[in-house]
């Protein structure tokens, strides 16, 4: 923790895409925010637009109320009590400086002023001006809610407390990874990313690749998002490129490799001229969608050489197959895919290696910036390590390129290595030193290097994360839950009962906490009519999860990313949840024609029955659970999860994913003293009367075309389960076990229907729900 005075109120000036998005994200963090724009009413309009936007800048619709909007011309005094003022206006130094002059008159002494500029050097914005000591550059990435990188540039005269205070609030409240950068054009990510885009376009043209091939090679094999390069340009806007290129050209020396590679592509100029700037304009870009004669939508790709659109063709290259093994096999492959990968990596990784220490003090910062700012799986130095630094140096030499000093220095070694369980990174002098984590950050990946697991199976492991707390990690494909994982849940509980730990956290660092039960397994079992096995798997899951709730130690779920179906049900059986803000939870079973079978129905009834502020009587909990489960609702943030009682008011939300495990551990430890599992009170359920009411709602959905015939069948089973079955009566208690039995019966009955099996198959084949 720093001693900097806390930032309690923030102003953002400029309600363009970036400014408005930053303001929304400040609101997401629960910090009051003022948003001003030069266009009268512009800020209010931007907030209105963001409430409807998808992906949503706000984590909850209601957070829009935290943004106070105003006009720059008349409402400047609104910034008077703000601790941090973020400028995100037009990218011209004169306009920015004129604004800062205006702000001098109203901002409070010692308040922090920062620019979100992506191109203008800090020196050009300060230059001895009276705000110099309070000034820094805070460069957010688009969209500000979702991109975790914040590049931070301070000047020689910036007060140290300024950077400390901004870092503190950006890290903890906004959930960003703050990367200090040097005051160089494009900082880290856009300098390297811009050069990469340039190289990827040039080489695709020169080597005669289709855009599908280029994107396929640039994407998955290199750990880059599957949009590759042309898809990425369509996403961010093709017209952005010339702007960035012009600004880089103006501020970098002519012999800079990025500048030297700049080339005017007539095709790109033509697309921009035609308003085909990508997805935002509706006219498409490199890729377009067109309706054929039957009205079906078909995807087209532009031919780089001929400039005409033609239906997309899947990239088929041997090098892509080779790339599935490793990157070295990809770049060594002689086909055009391999040559392409090789040429782009030579350009980009060579360029990146030449930029340290010009743009950053260390290589870890460069890698982090590319991972978090461009969503690369590996940063440039990590990619070089994967290729082998000596191989890469040889590639450079073969291509007649200079070999950057850092590559000489790493020589036969690696930029990253592990010594006695500690991750180390190479320093500029060639020595290695431990990777430094910000204070309070606890990463499972670091813990895993230090000691063997307490227990391990194919699908899950149990780790000692210190202070008597264990962490149960899933590690199956997409963290799907299978009998092996369930077995490990049981084993963990048994070990906890014997005193192996005091509290349990369920957490992993994969992209998604868990996508649910292993459907492939269920389909296979159904196809061979192994009904008994399936039912016992359902029962195993129910028992394992029920045992989590009944365990004599506290259990805290710590999800990030998707927690669907069975992945959601695990969480519903934890004593508490500490969720990353970007957690997407839902019971999505009806999408595959079944209902939650691992206690999810019982757990949702209980949550609503125990919720405060819910009307009394047997129906409200049932209606709430039915509404959510029957529509396969998936919440789009942890804050939205509260609306559906997937998170209870007492559960926590952590903004910074790197701080999630530490927060969950602290929550678990706080529950240890005097812990006793909650005694579940019996439920009162309405039985057939309630079922009749729910089915009326289903009839309404059918009339509106919102429910398919099989939806009605699935909903009928769900309604029977949630209302306690045909014999339930509002005068009698129903136990969780009774509801779980109904769940099981409904699940098995549905799995025996053809439409359900068709849904499961379709989901496995396409990843989408079949609407039959």
Partner 1 sequence: MTDIVIAAYRRSPFHLAGKGALTKLRPDEMAAQVIRALVADTGIDPGTIEDLILGCAFPEGEQGLNVARLVGFIAGLPQGVAGVTVNRFCGSSMQSIHQAAGAIRMGAGEAFLCAGVESMSRVPMGGYNVLPHPGLAADYPAAYMGMGETAENVAHRHQIPRVQQEAFAVESQRRAAEAQAHGRLEAEIVPVTVGKESVSADGCLRPDTSAEGLAGLKPAFRTDGTVTAGTASPLTDGAAAVLVCTDEFARKNGLTPLARIKSIAVAGCAPEVMGMGPVGASRKAMERAGITVRDLDVVELNEAFASQAIACMRELGLDPATVNIDGGAIALGHPLGATGARITGKAAALLQRERGRYALATQCIGGGQGIATVLEAVA
Site string for partner 1, 629-668 (x = CB under 8 A): ----------------------------------------
- Residue span binding partner 1 (CB under 8 A) among the ranges 161-169, 380-388, 471-479, 699-707: 699-707
> Considering the rule CB under 8 A, would residue 619 count as an interface residue with partner 1?
yes
Q: Give me the DSSP letters along 531-549.
A: HHHHHHHHHHHHHHHHHHH
Q: Which is nearer to partner 1, 406 or 728 (CB)?
A: 728
> Considering the rule CB under 8 A, would residue 688 count as an interface residue with partner 1?
yes
Q: How far is the CB of 28 from partner 1 (least distance, A)?
A: 23
Q: How far is the CB of 341 from partner 1 (least distance, A)?
A: 49
Q: How far is the CB of 727 from partner 1 (least distance, A)?
A: 12
d(CA 721, CA 740): 8
For tokens 């009998």, the residue is 483
Distances (CA, A) of 406 to 253, 331, 367: 21, 21, 14
Is the Cβ–Cβ distance between 500 and 454 less than 8 Å?
A: yes
Please give the helix or strand (H or E) that residue 446 lies within, else none: helix 444-450
- Binding partner 1 by CB under 8 A: which of 703, 709, 766, 767? 703
Q: How far is the CB of 8 from partner 1 (least distance, A)?
A: 27
- Residue span binding partner 1 (CB under 8 A) among the ranges 168-176, 268-276, 453-461, 617-625: 617-625
> Considering the rule CB under 8 A, would residue 62 count as an interface residue with partner 1?
no
Q: How far is the CB of 46 from partner 1 (least distance, A)?
A: 22
Is the Cβ–Cβ distance between 189 and 197 less than 8 Å?
A: no
Q: How far is the CB of 615 from partner 1 (least distance, A)?
A: 4
d(CA 745, CA 90): 62
Please state whether the peptide bond connecting residue 57 to the residue before it is cis, i.e. omega within 30 degrees of 0. no
- Other C-beta atoms within 10 Å of 307: how many? 11
- Binding partner 1 by CB under 8 A: which of 74, 92, 527, 689? 689
Site string for partner 1, 716-755 (x = CB under 8 A): --------------x-------------------------
> Considering the rule CB under 8 A, would residue 306 count as an interface residue with partner 1?
no
For tokens 């230090």, the residue is 450
d(CA 200, CA 307): 18
Q: Which is nearer to partner 1, 562 or 718 (CB)?
A: 718
The two beta strands, 469-474 and 460-464, are: antiparallel
Q: How far is the CB of 60 from partner 1 (least distance, A)?
A: 17
Q: Which is nearer to partner 1, 362 or 690 (CB)?
A: 690
- Residue span binding partner 1 (CB under 8 A) among the ranges 134-142, 326-334, 514-522, 610-618: 610-618
- Binding partner 1 by CB under 8 A: which of 700, 727, 737, 771? 700
Q: How far is the CB of 352 from partner 1 (least distance, A)?
A: 52
Q: Which is nearer to partner 1, 254 or 704 (CB)?
A: 704
Is the Cβ–Cβ distance between 278 and 241 less than 8 Å?
A: no
- Binding partner 1 by CB under 8 A: which of 164, 495, 693, 749? 693
Any residues with CB less than 8 A from the CB of 555 and at least 6 apart, and which?
503, 504, 505, 506, 548, 549, 573, 574, 575, 576, 668
Q: How far is the CB of 214 from partner 1 (least distance, A)?
A: 42
- Binding partner 1 by CB under 8 A: which of 16, 490, 620, 652? 620
Q: How far is the CB of 697 from partner 1 (least distance, A)?
A: 9
Q: Which is nearer to partner 1, 594 or 698 (CB)?
A: 698
Q: Which is nearer to partner 1, 672 or 695 (CB)?
A: 695
Q: Which is nearer to partner 1, 450 or 692 (CB)?
A: 692
d(CA 115, CA 86): 6
Q: Which residues pair with 460 in a beta bridge?
A: 474
Q: Which is nearer to partner 1, 676 or 696 (CB)?
A: 696
> Considering the rule CB under 8 A, would residue 696 count as an interface residue with partner 1?
yes
Is the Cβ–Cβ distance between 459 and 452 less than 8 Å?
A: no
Distances (CA, A) of 521 to 255, 457, 734: 58, 18, 32
> Considering the rule CB under 8 A, would residue 704 count as an interface residue with partner 1?
yes
Q: Which is nearer to partner 1, 284 or 690 (CB)?
A: 690
> Considering the rule CB under 8 A, would residue 617 count as an interface residue with partner 1?
yes
Q: How far is the CB of 516 from partner 1 (least distance, A)?
A: 31
Question: What distance separates the 2 farthest-apart alpha carbons in the chain?
Answer: 85
Sheet holding 67-71, edge to edge: 67-71, 33-37, 10-13, 84-87, 112-115, 135-140, 149-154, 177-180
Q: Which is nearer to partner 1, 164 or 695 (CB)?
A: 695
> Considering the rule CB under 8 A, would residue 709 count as an interface residue with partner 1?
no
# binding residues, partner 1 (CB under 8 A)? 21
Q: Where are the alpha helices (DSSP H) in 58-178?
A: 93-106, 122-125, 160-168
Its sign, for the CA torsion 589, 590, 591, 594, is positive
Q: Which is nearer to partner 1, 254 or 703 (CB)?
A: 703
Distances (CA, A) of 207 to 211, 304, 544: 11, 11, 56
Q: Which is nearer to partner 1, 160 or 726 (CB)?
A: 726
Distances (CA, A) of 679 to 164, 226, 616: 46, 48, 21
- Residue span binding partner 1 (CB under 8 A) among the ranges 79-87, 184-192, 571-579, 684-692: 684-692
> Considering the rule CB under 8 A, would residue 400 count as an interface residue with partner 1?
no
Q: Which is nearer to partner 1, 610 or 761 (CB)?
A: 610
For residue 518 the two structure tokens come to 């292993």
> Considering the rule CB under 8 A, would residue 615 count as an interface residue with partner 1?
yes
- Binding partner 1 by CB under 8 A: which of 52, 291, 314, 616? 616
Q: Which is nearer to partner 1, 110 or 700 (CB)?
A: 700
Q: Given phi > 0 = left and psi -120 to 50 = alpha, else beta, which region is 377?
A: alpha
| DSSP 8-state symbol, 278 | B
Please state whether the peptide bond connecting residue 357 to the residue before it is cis, i.e. omega within 30 degrees of 0. yes
Q: How far is the CB of 61 from partner 1 (least distance, A)?
A: 13
Q: Which is nearer to partner 1, 350 or 686 (CB)?
A: 686
Any residues with CB less than 8 A from the CB of 751 and at least 6 apart, and which?
522, 526, 531, 534, 593, 594, 757
Q: By C-alpha distance, which of 631, 530, 544, 528 is closest to 587?
A: 631
Q: Which is nearer to partner 1, 155 or 620 (CB)?
A: 620
Which stretches of the chain bind partner 1, using CB under 8 A?
615-620, 686, 688-693, 695-696, 699-700, 703-705, 730
């Amino acid at each position: 923790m720093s001693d900097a005075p806390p930032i309690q109120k923030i102003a953002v000036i400029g309600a363009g895409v970036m400014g408005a998005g930053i303001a929304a994200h400040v609101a997401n963090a629960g910090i009051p925010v003022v948003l001003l724009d030069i266009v009268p009413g512009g800020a209010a309009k931007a907030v209105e637009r963001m409430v409807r936007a998808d992906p949503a800048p706000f984590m909850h619709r209601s957070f829009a109320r935290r943004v106070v909007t105003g006009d720059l011309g008349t409402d400047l005094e609104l910034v008077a009590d703000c601790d941090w003022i973020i400028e995100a206006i037009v990218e011209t130094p004169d306009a920015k400086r004129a604004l800062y002059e205006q702000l001098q008159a109203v901002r409070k002494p010692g308040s922090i002023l920062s620019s979100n500029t992506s191109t203008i050097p800090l020196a050009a914005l300060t230059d001895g001006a009276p705000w110099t000591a309070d000034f820094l550059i805070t460069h957010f990435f688009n969209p500000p809610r979702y991109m975790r990188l914040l590049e931070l540039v301070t000047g020689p005269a910036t007060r140290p407390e300024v950077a400390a205070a901004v870092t503190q609030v950006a890290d903890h409240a906004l959930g960003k990874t703050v990367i200090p950068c040097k005051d160089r054009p494009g900082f880290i990510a856009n300098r390297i990313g811009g050069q990469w885009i340039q190289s990827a376009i040039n080489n695709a043209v020169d080597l005669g690749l289709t855009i599908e091939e280029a994107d396929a090679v640039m994407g998955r094999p290199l750990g880059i998002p599957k949009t590759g390069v042309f898809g990425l340009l369509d996403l961010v806007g093709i017209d952005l490129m010339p702007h960035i290129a012009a600004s880089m050209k103006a501020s970098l020396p002519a012999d800079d490799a990025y500048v030297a590679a700049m080339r005017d592509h007539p095709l790109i100029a033509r697309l921009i001229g035609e308003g085909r700037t990508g997805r935002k304009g509706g006219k498409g870009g490199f890729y377009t969608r067109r309706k054929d004669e039957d009205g079906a939508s078909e995807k087209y790709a532009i031919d780089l050489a001929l400039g005409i659109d033609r239906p997309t063709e899947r990239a088929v290259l041997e090098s892509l197959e080779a790339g599935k093994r490793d990157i070295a096999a990809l770049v060594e492959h002689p086909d055009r895919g391999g040559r392409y990968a090789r040429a782009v990596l030579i350009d980009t990784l060579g360029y990146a290696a030449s930029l340290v220490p010009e743009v950053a003090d260390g290589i870890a910062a460069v890698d982090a910036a590319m991972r978090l700012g461009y969503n690369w799986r590996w940063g440039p130095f990590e990619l070089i390590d994967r290729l082998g630094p000596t191989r890469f140096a040889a590639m450079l030499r073969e291509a007649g390129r200079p070999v950057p000093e850092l590559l000489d220095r790493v020589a036969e070694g690696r930029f990253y290595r592990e010594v006695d369980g500690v991750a180390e990174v190479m320093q500029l002098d060639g020595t290695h030193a431990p990777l430094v984590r910000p204070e309070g950050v606890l990463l499972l990946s670091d813990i895993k290097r230090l000691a063997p697991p307490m227990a391990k199976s194919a699908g899950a492991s149990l780790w000692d994360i210190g202070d008597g707390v264990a962490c149960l990690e899933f590690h199956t494909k997409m963290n799907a839950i299978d009998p092996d994982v369930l077995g490990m849940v049981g084993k963990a509980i048994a070990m906890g009962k014997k005193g192996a730990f005091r509290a349990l956290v369920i957490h992993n660092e994969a992209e998604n906490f868990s996508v649910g039960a292993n459907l492939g397994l269920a389909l296979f079992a159904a196809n061979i009519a192994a009904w008994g096995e399936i039912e016992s798997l359902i029962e195993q899951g129910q028992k394992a999860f029920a045992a989590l709730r009944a365990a004599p130690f506290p259990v805290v779920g710590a999800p990030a990313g998707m927690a669907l179906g069975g992945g959601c049900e695990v969480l519903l059986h934890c004593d508490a949840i500490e969720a990353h803000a970007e957690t997407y939870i839902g019971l999505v079973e009806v999408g595959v024609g079944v209902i939650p079978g691992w206690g999810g129905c019982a757990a949702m009834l209980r949550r609503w029955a125990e919720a405060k502020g819910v009307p009394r009587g047997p129906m409200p909990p049932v209606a709430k659970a039915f509404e959510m489960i029957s529509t396969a609702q998936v919440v789009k943030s942890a804050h939205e999860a509260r609306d559906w009682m997937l998170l209870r008011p007492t559960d926590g939300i952590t903004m910074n994913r790197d701080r999630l495990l530490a927060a969950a551990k602290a929550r678990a430890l706080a529950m240890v003293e005097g812990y006793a599992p909650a005694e579940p009170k019996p439920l009162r359920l309405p039985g057939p009367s309630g079922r009749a009411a729910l089915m009326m709602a289903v009839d309404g959905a059918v009339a509106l075309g919102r429910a398919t015939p099989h939806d009605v069948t699935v909903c009928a089973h769900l309604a029977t389960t949630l209302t306690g079955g045909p014999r339930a009566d509002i005068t009698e208690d129903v136990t969780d076990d009774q509801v779980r039995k109904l769940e099981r019966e409904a699940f098995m009955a549905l799995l025996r229907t053809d439409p359900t099996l068709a849904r499961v198959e379709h989901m496995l084949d396409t990843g989408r729900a079949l609407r039959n």
